[in-house]
Chains A and B, each alone.
Chain A
Amino acid sequence: MEPLSPEDGKRAAAAPEAAIPRTHIEIENLEIRYGPVPAVKGISFRVRAGEQLTLLGPSGCGKTTTLRAIAGLERPSAGAIRIGGETMYASAEGINIPAEKRGLSMVFQSYAIWPHMTVFENVAYGLRVRRKSRHEILTRVREALALVQMAPYENRPASALSGGQQQRVALARACVFQPSVLLFDEPLSNLDAKLRADMRIELRELQHRLGITSVYVTHDLEEALAMSDRIVVMRDGNIEQIGSPTEIYNLPRNAFVADFIGSSNLIAGQLRPDLASDGLIALETSAGQVVHGVAHGRAVPPEPVFSVRTVYLRLSFERPAGLRNVWPVRVHHCVFQGDFSQVNVTWGDRDLVVRSAALEPIPEGRDAFLSVEPRHCVLIEGS
């Protein structure tokens, strides 16, 4: 079809040595501006073949812009995007392959179901563009519709579908022509909570079954944790942290990630190397409590801070024995929130927040002991 370029040859030769799993999408120093305003400020990351990677962040952090740049719907101002070893965009060489030639597929936030076509025609579109035979179109569309359990709706006009059904059709339409990459732009955000939880699981299973590389954008933390192999946390056009869901959750790199992913207490103090032992580090707060925690190989900044997840803090009425981080506290406030209770305790000169699964409400003003394992007190990097 197309003449092989020298790069193709190189890639073929290099493939056996490449680490497994190999990189499928490579973003290098990507920068996107709207006029003078930078929306994405020179970010780099890789997506491995078959991986589900999620871009997570608050609205306006540049995650959707990044996804649209990968898709080819947004023209970056600098950097490079390579997919499957082919350069899709490179500012240096002046390459920008239009979206329709990138061989990707995308599920849109609004589903983008064409109202003037039937369900079948919607799904068949990508195959018709590729001039597949009538027979092939029929079998593959039926397969795709069966995959999303929409086979009985084949001949419905697309405008007569519910939100969840439209979502499924959009998914079938996106996978039917076997794209090399699937992109998702907050696909579940228009569904109601219950349906969203179901679709989350279905999407994850489907992605595993097809083994397709996918990039997923969301601002919903639970969705990101449940669906991703790896998460890229973004803020203000920069990447804050890249890692697996558990890494991101347990070892937040900085105060923003600690706060955005779940809820955390941030504890600042002076480094006390004299009190440290067993590979732990120790901080002394301004009120004099000593907290032992882990540095995880991170360099200790001049003003060190621990992040402590609210769910890892334990409250007890008797002093737990044999633990390092134990302090007497007073319960200051307790709010029952269903699956857990949120307890504010007075700890020296400040409040800490504890999420406790205790069924019994704790009376306010009661004295108690607060404890936490040192491995859950994680040193974060300075900003």
Chain B
Amino acid sequence: MQAPALRWQVPSGQAIAGFGVAGAAGILVLYPIFYLMQAALDVGDPDARPPTAYGLGNFEALPQYSEIMLNTLTVSLAATVMALLFGFVTAWILSRTNVPGRRTLEQLMAVPYYMTPLLGAFAWSLLGAPESGFVNQVWRALGGENALINLVTPFGIAWVMALFEGSVAFVMIGAVMKSMDPALEEASQVIGASRLRTMLRVTLPLVAPGVLGAAILVFAEMLGSFSAALVLGNPDRFYVVTTAMYQLVSQYPPRIPLAAAMGVSLFAVMFLMLFLYRRLIAGRSYVTISGKAFRPRVMDVGRLRWLLFAVCVFYVLLSVALPLMTLAFASVQKIAVAFPAASNWTLANYQTAFTMNAVRAALGNSLLLGVATASIGVVLMGLISWLIYRSRLPGSGFIEYLVMFPQAVPRLVFAFGMMWAWIVFPIPIYGTLWLLLIAYLTVFLPLGVRTISGVMLQIDKSLEECAQMCGAPWGYRIRTVTMPLLCPGLLAAWLLLFIASVRELGASILLMGPNAKVVTPTIVESWFATSAELTAAMALIQTLVIAIAMVVFLALTRRASMYAGE
């Protein structure tokens, strides 16, 4: 009599919640991918859905656009090289030399990542446009001729992306340099090798996999980047794959299958890169990461350290301070010039930004979406993390793979699949905020799951098991032990998701409907349709919202690390 009742308690709440959540994640990720593939293989009547004929015709047409592919590769390669240079130099300075103010600099180095490439593109366009750019105006005022720099060029795109991705490279390379056991180098010196020989034969080979990993990851991100190329490339009709896709979808008549084929190709290349990256990470067990915290050997560089200090500060200035100041400077002028007359100053741009209905509605929508994405996302992604790392339900490894999948797909490409998928969905959510909510929840799955699981893995498993041994059922355990311990981590994930949603562009620009606008695409529209000054004001307002969320986030992560020592 007792046995059947007990047998039912095993698949209880846990398993139902687990499989439900896994199923939801599976649909979110795979449904759009399916439609992306379908569109790419559609060679039939362009107006008929589902497709009337399948074939590889769209892919065979791609070589006609080889220039776009070449553009993408050139820009990505140039940006990767520059970003790695920034990242490597600053990482080396901050982890291996006695540069002053190391701790503060290290925190500052993460800030560029929270600036968007879009902001950078606006600012560097204002600074470096051949005619109106502030730098060139100053140059001419000093007696120079023509333009000193021109950043509305492929180089400009690479430059803006490199400044932004430099901080990613810094974090990755810095982590490798810090985790390297100084004994490995000391051993070489004890044997009698010179400093240079040690550097060449021991240090570099040890750091190389980390640098290569950073290179692959940064390059993959560059391939999928969109906003800088849109702002700095489109005026001169210079297209990369993402901007070309956007063009093909938004022109009339749209060329959906061709765009889909481009998207699939880009996705294939990125997938390959990330696969290589994972292989590299998995195969580098012989390197330095041993779970122990080392105090890396710090080199005394004497007076040179002030120069190195200046190098780091200069990077932060170029990537954060200068763009923000440029936008602020432009936003309070009627027509942005380098040497404004007294009559040129105005606050009208801010007033317009706050009073224009379209902008207010877009900002409101974005905040609403940000809150909704973050709140639903934390629950969904928290459950997924728990499922992957804590439950012993079968198939959790597969779920992890599935959830991390959107990382390999540029957001624009993913949004393309969603657009195509949800247009034919029986419930009319296309063009509403609901579709954007679904899109955000999907594309931010890797971000949310990684953040939450990072905190979850720091919490000793036996803390939960002990509650179980004390007789607490699943729900009670989650409520009294798991949740309170995860709380700071969940709040941090909430804020990250909020920030990411509020500044999202690649997916929103394709999926946003005319009656459900969000803020970043509206800002981009304003850049091309109205004025740079108004756009600067709008971008700064958005940045301020994000900055406030950031400050709260930092305060919370500091609290989260308090528990981690247990």
Contacts and interface: CB of A to CB of B under 8 A. Distances in A.
Interface of A: 2-3, 5, 71-73, 75, 93-101, 103-106, 108-110, 112-116, 125-126, 129-130, 159, 173-174, 177, 183
Contacts of B9: 97-98, 101
Q: Which 5 A-B pairs have the closest CB atoms?
A: A126-B470, A112-B466, A112-B462, A108-B462, A106-B469
7 contacts: A96-B7, A97-B9, A99-B468, A105-B470, A110-B460, A116-B484, A116-B563
Contact of B566 (A73, A108, A159): A159
B85 interface: no
Contacts of A99: 465, 468-469
From A71, A113, A116, A177, residue with most partner B Cβ within 10 Å:
A116
B268 interface: no
B6 interface: yes
Interface stretch (B158-166, B471-479, B544-552): B471-479
B251 interface: no
A109 B463 CA distance: 11
Given A94-B3, A115-B566, A129 B472 contact: yes
Q: Is the interface of B mostly helix, strand, loop or mixed?
A: helix
B16 interface: no
Interface in B472-512: 472-473, 476-477, 480-481, 484-485
B191 interface: no
B64 interface: no
Contacts of B7: 94-96
A197 B484 CA distance: 35
Contacts of B476: 129
A75 B460 CA distance: 20
Interface string B4-31: 0011011010000000000000000000
Contacts of A129: 470-472, 476
A73 B465 contact: yes
A152 to B, nearest CB: 22
A173 B2 CA distance: 30
Given A100-B468, A112-B466, A174-B469, 11 more contacts: A5-B2, A71-B465, A73-B465, A96-B7, A100-B470, A108-B462, A108-B466, A114-B481, A115-B485, A115-B566, A159-B566
Contact of B469 (A75, A96, A105): A105
B459 to A, nearest CB: 9
B46 to A, nearest CB: 50
A230 to B, nearest CB: 23
Interface residues of B, number: 29
Nearest to A99: B468
Contacts of B427: none
Given A109-B462, A116-B484, A95 B471 contact: no
Given A114-B481, A115-B566, A173 B1 contact: no
A73 B10 CA distance: 12
Given A94-B7, A116-B484, A116-B563, A173 B470 contact: yes
Contacts of A101: 9, 471
A29 B157 CA distance: 68
A2 B484 CA distance: 33
B247 to A, nearest CB: 51
Interface string B429-466: 00000000000000000000000000000001011011
Nearest to A74: B392
A273 to B, nearest CB: 56
- Of the candidates B12, B466, B467, the one having the most CB atoms from chain A within 10 angstroms of its own CB is B466
Contacts of A173: 466, 470
Contact of A103 (B2, B467, B471, B480): B471
B485 A106 contact: no
Contacts of B465: 71, 73, 99, 106, 108, 112
Nearest to B467: A125
A71 B469 contact: yes
B472 A100 contact: yes
A98 B10 contact: yes
A96 B471 CA distance: 15
Contact of A96 (B1, B10, B481, B485): B10
B460 A130 contact: no
A96 B3 CA distance: 9
Given A112-B463, A115-B485, A125 B472 contact: yes
Contacts of A98: 9-10, 12, 468
A113 B563 CA distance: 12
A20 B342 CA distance: 102
B473 A100 contact: yes
Nearest to B12: A98
Nearest to B487: A116
Contacts of B480: 125
B2 to A, nearest CB: 6
Interface in B380-437: 392
Nearest to A96: B10
B469 A104 contact: yes
A177 B2 CA distance: 25
A3 B1 contact: yes
A113 to B, nearest CB: 8
A130 B471 contact: yes
A107 B566 CA distance: 17
A174 B466 CA distance: 9
A188 B457 CA distance: 24
Nearest to A185: B462
Contacts of A100: 468-473, 477
Contacts of B463: 112, 114
Given A5-B1, A108-B462, A73 B468 contact: yes
A72 B473 CA distance: 13
| Of A105, A108, A183, most B-chain CB atoms within 10 Å | A108
Contacts of B1: 3, 5
A110 B12 CA distance: 28
A115 B564 CA distance: 10
B315 to A, nearest CB: 38
A177 B469 CA distance: 11
Contacts of A103: 471
A4 to B, nearest CB: 10
Contacts of A96: 6-7, 10
A115 B476 CA distance: 17
B470 A177 contact: yes
A124 B480 CA distance: 12
A126 B462 contact: no
B4 to A, nearest CB: 9
A259 to B, nearest CB: 32
Contacts of B392: 75
A244 to B, nearest CB: 28
A130 B470 CA distance: 9
A329 to B, nearest CB: 45
Given A109-B462, A115-B563, A125-B480, A93 B469 contact: no
A115 B566 CA distance: 7
A130 B472 CA distance: 8
Contacts of A126: 470-471
A95 B468 contact: no
